[in-house]
Structure 1
Amino acid sequence: MEDTFLCHGIIWNTAGPRLALARPDGTTAAMDVAEGTRLGFRVLEAGRFCLGSHRVQGPQARHHVPCPLQAPAERGYQCISCFLNDDLRFLHDAHRSGSAPDGLRAYLAQPHWLYVATFASGTSKVGTSSDLRKRLRLAEQGAVAARYVARAEDGRIVRVLEDMVSQQTELTQAVRSAAKLSGLQAPRSPAELDSINADHARTVRNLLPGVELEGFAAVDQTWELPEPGRRVIGSDSRTAYPLELAAGTHGLVLEAFLGSIALVRTGEAGPAYLADLNGLKGRRIELGVYQSQLPPVQVSLF
């Protein structure tokens, strides 16, 4: 049981990406996924399991509460009970409803940033990040190019701006993980992605002077893609990992990350693949010396 974990997915901190894990007793762990790391595991059961809930005390204080029943996930990555007890469920609607626990209100009281992010396919979105996670938020998202377009006094104001932008432009507030992965299989050039992002950011900044809302200022700041992400976008590999991560056994050598998408090999000299490790989120896994049983590849004669 020492090597059995519930996977919480890829998280980013100032040191880079890590694989977040929880032991059966609920205590947390994190696995370094630096270049050259070998990740061997088998998925123990079908289906996703609840990742628990959070209690928010302020901008830097958050407490994770493991699911007491270790129940199957029913809504996203949570059971219904943990969803209803999660302070974060109020996060994206507090600016409309006015309802939020005191700790979340304290979190929202810090400065926030409005950004425009562009992904490998050229798909772009508008989003927000807290001041404390200003740059890490975009690294977690898997953006290739991004610009900050406004700084708001708090999280309520920035989400009002976000809603306004998504209503008045073609920018959505979310890009699906599958779309991010497929975009990396046929990416646009970094220069083209930067140009697309700059155009969208300019459009948003041109809207801001007409907004009848106090507590924010327009900005023009460019986000820099972390080095691991540059390695992924610059790789010649355009093939998705051919196995379903949510089942079976896998042995991966990790080379670099763009968000939760890793450039991986199944051996030192084998071909490189693109694998979204958030496919493990909510899965019960056992770490160990496991191998990927890849399907045979038919070589074209022509």
Structure 2
Amino acid sequence: MSAGPWCTGWYDLDGAGRRPCPGRRPAVGSRQCADCALRDQFRFVHHGHTGGYVPAALEPVLAAPHLLYLATFADGFTKVGTAAEHRRTGRIDEQGAVLASYVAATTDGRVVREAEDLVTAELDVPQHRRRAAKVAALARPAERARVRTRHAETVQQVSALLARAGLGPGLMPLDEPWTPPSDMGVLAGMPPQGSWVEYPSDLRSGGHGLLVEACAGSAVLARTRPGPDAGRYLVDLGRLTGARIVPGDVDSPETEVQEPLF
């Protein structure tokens, strides 16, 4: 494996979708090289509702129907986010949440982002969470009832705020729970604390053989060898972003892991 990080390419708004980096260059700063970052006009989407520059190719994206959602993770942390209608389920599926609800819909992507900013400003619900924290939440979850209560209370507070705010045009309230995909398996059940141990080896070096049983966002629950007595680990596949992987018949390193007692 060549760990990089290498450029992951850019998003072409003219219909081609994700394009690979033409020069297969190292990433600079985040996930892109400098050239691909300049090509990627999608980066302007987060500022289009505040009067920022919007390229012509991005206008149809902002004008398309969108949804406002709340996603709650296994430790009770809740974030607010937006999803284009055509990404209605996929956007939340990739978050790694255990509970989520759509709380509003709009025909205008600018309006939904205004609503998102309002929720953050008035209710202190953040719009971002680090990937590593999402994975860690699955390894160290909060008590199930507290997570459910936290999510329900936030949904209620956001719905009341949007009703008072009168945002428009076309902002419609929703009370629609998200259905976890079947691939989440047991990870959708908010396991008791200490159920899953984080994978102890560095994915970005050496060889790793993983038998995947369930997925939640960038996290997978996997065994390093077959058999019902084999330990299961939470593995953050997001650490492989920008890495070059060589498939092969390999085994994971032998590691003794002390499972958490509390």
TM-score, normalization by structure 1? 0.79
Matching residue of 1:183: 137
Kindly indicate whether residue 249 of structure 2 is the aligned counterpart of residue 249 of structure 1.
Answer: no
Kindly indicate whether residue 248 of structure 2 is the aligned counterpart of residue 293 of structure 1.
Answer: no
2:210 is paired with a residue whose SS is strand
Measure the CA separation in 2 of the matches of 1:102 and 1:225: 35
* Structure 2 residue identity aligned to 1:260: S
How far did 1:295 drift? 2.5
Matching residue of 1:222: 177
2:141 is paired with a residue whose SS is coil
Kindly indicate whether residue 220 of structure 2 is the aligned counterpart of residue 276 of structure 1.
Answer: no
Measure the CA separation in 1 of the matches of 2:98 and 2:3: 33
How far did 1:99 drift? 2.0
Matching residue of 2:8: 51
Measure the CA separation in 2 of the matches of 1:142 and 1:233: 9
Distance 1:63 1:151, change over 3 A: same
Stretches of structure 2 lacking an aligned partner (at least 5 in a row):
none
How far did 1:189 drift? 4.3
Q: Which has the higher contact order (CA 8 A, sep 6+)?
A: 1
* Structure 1 residue identity aligned to 2:112: V
Matching residue of 1:66: 20
Matching residue of 1:231: 186
How far did 1:110 drift? 1.2
Greater strand share, 1 or 2?
1
- Residue-pair matches, total: 253
Q: Residue 184 of structure 1 contacts residue 233 of structure 1 at CA under 8 Å; is this kept in 2?
A: no
* Structure 1 residue identity aligned to 2:62: L
| 1:110-189 to 2 correspondences below 5 Å | 110-189=64-143
TM-score, normalization by structure 2? 0.90
Measure the CA separation in 2 of the matches of 1:142 and 1:296: 27
Deviates more, 1:71-80 or 1:124-133: 71-80
Measure the CA separation in 2 of the matches of 1:230 and 1:63: 30
Matching residue of 1:19: none
Matching residue of 1:265: 223
2:172 is paired with a residue whose SS is strand
Measure the CA separation in 2 of the matches of 1:74 and 1:141: 24
Measure the CA separation in 2 of the matches of 1:182 and 1:242: 13
